[in-house]
Structure 1
């Protein structure tokens, strides 16, 4: 059987490994793997294969609608007419909205990671069926983020 657990980089990880070693699990049956952080920044624009859930289109369409109404309204008194000024308002509103979204996303993306916040460590323990429950309890008692038992 295998018991798999996820921990933050902390003293609780060391305490959990020590606790299961004291319970009789050999070091050769314990495997801990620290996960590495993303080596590069996420991309600004989404692709067809992946998206981050943030749309650069939403504010552009909202502002295009608002500027179209304003342009059409004032187009009745301006030279060129309501249709021309409505189209100009739509174009200006859409570009302004996309620009605001891009600047907001860049500002939001530059936020550094929280101090002390690092990636997780995954611990895999090879054990017998009788030892699995004890190991699971030890992991939960030492602040594991998640635990799974695999047959």
Structure 2
């Protein structure tokens, strides 16, 4: 999995969609690339908690510099774009009596051969969404990509 063969968004999607048998191979390939990545899980009826979990993971894994506004801003917009996919454009959870259980992947790097295109960040989400009653949820996914 190199950036010449695959885009940053596809890397993020593959990581978040991988099952336990596939994840180790993908991690090895990612470690050989120049992309940085982190993985995590979040679940809530509160959208702020979902956003916060992804931001915290990105900070703890040194994916972004917390004190650099453009990096925080790029991550925030990538997260919101991914959440729009998960929530079908209505960026609401608890207010409309629904909850999510999500896995996430954050990938950062230079996906273009031209160095002047700079760094980009991708956030992929995959999991379930539905009424806050176990067993009544369905699968959902979202992807957000933003330049840094």
Shorter-chain TM-score tier? under 0.3
Larger RCO of the pair (alpha carbons < 8 Å, separation 6+): 1
Higher helix share: 1
The structure having more radius of gyration, on CA atoms, is: 1
Higher strand share: 2
